[in-house]
Amino acid sequence: MQLIDGKQTAAAVRQEIAQEVKELISKGEKQPHLAAVLVGNDGGSETYVAAKMKFCKEVGFKSSLKRFDETVTEEELLECVNNLNQDVDIDGFIVQLPLPDHINEEKITEAIDPKKDVDGFHPQNLGRMITGAPAFISATPQGIMELLSRYNIDTEGKHVVVIGRSNIVGRPMSILLSLKGKPGNATVTVCHSRTADLASICKQGDIIIAALGIPEFLKADMVKDGAVVIDVGTTRVPSEKTKSGWRLKGDVDFENVSSKCSYITPVPGGVGPMTIVSLLLNTLKAAKKEIYS
Ligand code: GUN
C-alpha cells in the first residue's frame, strides 16, 4: 500500500507556482491577484479564507479580502461582484459559501464573470468542463486529478466508482474521469443514497472515490484487493485529544481498508491540502489568460 501524500504534493505544487510567479514578474508581467468575498463570521469560512490568503502570500500572489456583515443585501453583494468583474487588477475572485439564507447563492455565482471564476462554479465553466473545453475546474475535483496525475495512477479503461453526486465533487469527478485524457478515459459509475446494492458496486471498483460525507462509510469488505481509494470526507468529530475539541474523519474506514489498497489518501493530509492549491493554479491560469484567451 502506498499513501498518497496530499500535504507534500501541495507543498511541491506551491513551490512550482512561486517559481512561475517569479518568472512572470521578471518578464515585467503583473503580480497575479486573487480576491475573496467573505460574508458574516462563520468559523469554517473564516478559517478557509484565511488559509487561502496565507497561501497567496506564500506563492507571491497579491490578495484582497472584501468583508461584509451577515446583514448585507443581495444588491450590495451583486454590486461588489460587479466591481470585482470590472477591476482590471484582479485576475480572479471567489465568494466564499455558504451565504446567509436571504441571499440567492445561484444569483451571486452567475453574476461572476466566468473569466474570473477561479472557483469554477459558474454554469459556463461547468458547461465547458462537460464538453472537455478549457474551463476553470472546481478545487476538489481538480486537486484529485492532480494527485492521480502526479502519482501516475492509470485510469484508462479502469472502473471508477464515485460515491456521492454533489455538484462540487461527485458529479464533476465522474465527468472529468470519463472524458478523453490522462487522467481520464475511465468507465465511471456514480453511486448515491438511492443506489441499490452499493457494496457490490464498490467491490467492482478499480478506483473508488468516496465523497458522501459519512465518516468511515467505506468498509474493507466493500473494496477489492489492489484498489485505489480516494477519500474526500472531512467530517468534524468530537475529540478529547485535540485543542480544538474536534478532529477530521474521512468517508473511509482507513484502519481496515488501507491494507487492501494499492494507493490510498489519508484524512487529514490527502485531498484536503490540494484544494487550495487548485485555487492558486486557477488564479495563475486566470492571470496568464490560459482558459479564456
Ligand atoms: N465553501 C466551501 N468550499 C468552498 C469553495 O471551494 N469555494 C467557495 N467559494 N466556498 C466554499
From first to last of the 293 residues of the chain, give the pLDDT tens digit.
999 999 999 999 999 999 999 999 999 999 999 999 999 999 989 999 999 999 999 999 999 999 999 999 999 999 999 999 999 999 999 999 999 999 999 999 999 999 999 999 999 999 999 999 999 999 999 999 999 999 999 999 999 999 999 999 999 999 999 999 999 999 999 999 999 999 999 999 999 999 999 999 999 999 999 999 999 999 999 999 999 999 999 999 999 999 999 999 999 999 999 999 999 999 999 999 999 98
Q: Which residues of 252-271 are buried (b: 16+ CB within 10 A; e: fewer)?
A: bbbeebbebbebbbbbebbb
Q: 84 alpha carbon to ligand 1 midpoint, in Å?
A: 18
Own/partner contacts of 281-284, CB < 8 Å, gap of 24 or more, are 281/13, 281/17, 281/142, 281/146, 282/92, 282/118, 282/119, 282/120, 282/136, 282/137, 282/139, 282/142, 283/32, 283/33, 283/34, 283/56, 283/61, 283/91, 283/92, 283/118, 284/17, 284/20, 284/21, 284/32
Catalytic residue (choose from 5, 52, 91, 158): 52
Are both 28-115 and 139-273 of the same fold? yes
- Contacts of residue 165, defined as CB under 8 A and 6 or more positions apart, other chains included, come to 171, 174, 190, 192
Ligand 1 atom closest to residue 138's alpha carbon, by position in its atom list: 6
Choices 3.40.718.10, 3.40.50.10860, 3.40.50.1970, 3.30.420.10: CATH for 28-115: 3.40.50.10860
Residue of 46, 53, 81, 94 best suited for mutating to test ligand 1, as the one with most atoms within 8 Å of CB: 94
Domain boundaries, the chain: 28-115, 139-273
Whether 19 sits among the annotated catalytic residues: the reply is no
CATH T-level assignment (fold) for domain 139-273 = Rossmann fold (3.40.50)
Catalytic (active site) residue 119: yes
Q: How far is the CA of 275 from the centre of ligand 1 (A)?
A: 10
Nearest to 100 by CA among 71, 58, 130, 143: 71
3-state secondary structure of 124: helix
User: Which pTM value belongs to this model?
Assistant: 0.97
What does the pLDDT look like over 38-68, one tens digit per residue?
999 999 899 999 999 999 999 999 999 999 9
Span 195-221, pLDDT tens digits: 999 999 999 999 999 999 999 999 999
221 Cα to the center of ligand 1, angstroms: 33
Burial class (CB in 10 A: 0-12, 13-18, 19+), 226: exposed
The rounded Å distance from CA 122 to ligand 1 centre is: 13
Residue 51, ligand 1, Cβ within 6 A: no
